[in-house]
Structure 1
């Protein structure tokens, strides 16, 4: 008789919910793809006659965006993270980001990944906040530089559009203030713990910037990530043989992606699409050409990698990397 095999305590209890999570995310992605099937079909028709060389370059740049995101996240923490799993987690996070609104999917995946790597939840949240802030600063800097280099591309929208953007910004600020107020209210009875948490966060930020390699990874990765996404749009424009200057296309994308943050849709679906189409039209493209560019960009950055990304997410959950 063979010796009984020991089963680690808790494995059987954890496997069902991990399998359930994997199945739910895959089904959610499939449902999202079915819902937007007309967009996929139209995009495929538009890209059939596009230049294959430029499309291949756009696809390569889209793949490299996950490496850029991984580099920036590594720069936001003092500890060395496992490189392979870090890149895989960014691939999975990008897919999850298109299922949940306002970056919640990517944030949840990365928060879980960092805690599984041994970081305390507070330090993991600080790292994500630092990376997000670095990305925002980089985008603002790029938009400002390109706006000076390409004057007249960004036009002020109509009064109604301006009021809508201002209202969205005020609403976002109000929600953020409310969240901070709730957090402070919950911690009101624990000022010492709040001070310790703030001190740890400041110490982490200082430690990252005191390490030249980490600071270079944080800011360099954030810059590379933004430039790679911009490069995807530029390559799609070239694949469709549109005569738009590179600087104007880059400015259109960076401004549109920054404005889309005001509308918390999953992965910017809808909000980024409309903003990018409007910005490309303002840069000189026709409405039909702008829509074609948006469809091509979305196919390469969202729809083609969506199901593989969700499968990777499910695999990372099952293997307890997440």
Structure 2
């Protein structure tokens, strides 16, 4: 009888341990699936999730205009009773109703990369995008103080992260180069092909542009392609944002004068760790910023810079 009682106790304890060891189930919803930036965020989040016994699903729209797709994904995982959501919103305000529904259901939410218009005390993990845009403006003004016409090639009005970079660049370049005319009402569209086509059209209409700023990976790569196609690389100065193989090659050959890079791996790590602390009911800061770094041909081989760019170049196919 004692033996049976002992065995029953052991079974009960084992079951209790299994319940305690059950991982949190969370969903990470990026803006899109095409940019290397998102793949690096995923890598950082996945590495951290494994260490914290979190079961992470990575699911987002294919392109960075999928607001409705993001809302449907959130709705689905609310029904699946997931514990937490990390979201890089494709709109600063259109997902508010869906997010509030998740919160009402007791789901913990962390916002990454792009803040919401109504952040509602949700923790935000990301770059200080306005300061990052100002970095590019400072370098451009230092390198080419005599330019007379500058194009701010905007990305998409529904993305707060790129809008903040554009605003940071615009405010800073106006202070540093007050004599320059700035064209700031042109949008690229969300793909590399959109950006390339947009810049072809703009240059046909305004051929005397001397300097361009592009605020993200696809707009930067698209502008590089457009300038090369028109044999204008190096003639029109170009400062961009984010990083991939094509952008790296453009910095090496001088067709891109500088680029601001983020730290998406660290961003993914911080976002996942922040969500874990929320799930553990710990107090966390509302804002967790990750660094930005400006790369030029002169510093691209510095150890500090290489430590940030090597993962992009070694882990992902060209």
- What TM-score do the two structures reach when normalised by structure 2? 0.30
Larger Rg: 2
**Higher strand proportion, which one?**
2
